[in-house]
Amino acid sequence: MARSAGVIGFAAAPDLAVGVEQWQRWLRHERRASPHTIDAYVRDLAGFLAFLTGHLGGLPSLADLAALRRADFRAWLSARAGNGLESSSTARALSVLRGFFTFLARRGLVENAALSGIRAPRLPRSVPKALTGAEAFDALDSAAELSDESWIAKRDTAVLTLLYGCGLRIGEALALNRGDAPPATDRVTDLVITGKGNKQRTVPVLPVVAAAVADYLAACPFGGAPEDPLFFGARGRRLGPRQVQLQMERLRYLLGLPETATPHALRHSFATHLLASGGDLRAIQELLGHASLSTTQRYTHVDTARLLSVYDGAHPRARR
């Protein structure tokens, strides 16, 4: 097994090992990927190269990569399926592989069109599901680990804390301006949110949520005026939803969360955890900005027995 600086554990011939080192440097310095993201990518690529070592009967080289056929890639997919790996994991690994081959092609190291003809495994269609309380806390606690830049780490923590702590849609959170930021106090404060159809609602903001936002604002190098965006991207523009979705993808990989753990799932979790703790369904409807109570009921993931107990304790007829 070839070993060189930055590629410990890779089964690769020397020329390919150099290409892997270049790829890792590119991820780190040009793509500015976090260490956790790079580690995840490296694991996927290392698994593929380890498969090739057995499949080809020796350490793979750049020439070997260029000579791979569709049948070789399909054999890799078949081996993953035979090892019981989930289709979502394989789809992610295939995405990493495509990115690596694209990197090599742009530098004139490897040309191979066979990979473009390989389809990713079909993933089951699912709606966002609520995280457990432990999963939600782990996601918020680990968000800062995804970036080496302190202010971006604080921003990611603030965004996810706001989504889970207030039950906001991602678009609602990212549409907020600096002047909308909740004050950092030891009391619950109010935040006015403009939702679908330009309907406004008031949501309570816990001190821990306001503190996360204030911590981010104190470190943010951009803005300062009330009309400036509350959340900025790395280039000084309003943060977009795709950046938040990518961070949740990285958290899923880092923490082993289900594929349904998305930014929107934090909103589901907010509603579900409130209802499971005895929250009033009508009040939760108001907090979420739902026009219909039935929408709120479908939105939460609490078993029927829990819902019946809420109605049984609240309906006047039940007390007769």
Task: Give the residue numbers marked as catalytic.
Answer: 169, 196, 264, 267, 290, 299
Please, are residues 190 and 204 in contact by the beta-carbon 8 Å criterion? Answer: yes
DSSP conformational letter for 138: H
Please, are residues 3 and 49 in contact by the beta-carbon 8 Å criterion? Answer: no
Alpha-carbon distance of 102 to 91, in angstroms, equals: 17
198 CB-near residues (< 8 Å, 6+ apart): none
Alpha-carbon distance of 65 to 48, in angstroms, equals: 11
- Integer angstrom CA distances of residue 167 from 160, 193, 205, 229: 10, 11, 10, 20
Alpha-carbon distance of 13 to 58, in angstroms, equals: 9
241 CB-near residues (< 8 Å, 6+ apart): 170, 171, 174, 263
**Residue 250: Cβ within 10 Å count:** 20
Alpha-carbon distance of 152 to 188, in angstroms, equals: 26
**Residue 150: Cβ within 10 Å count:** 11
Give 221's Cβ-side CA count (13 Å radius).
9
Q: Is 256 left (phi over 0), alpha (psi -120 to 50) or beta?
A: left
232 phi, psi to nearest 5 deg: -105, 150
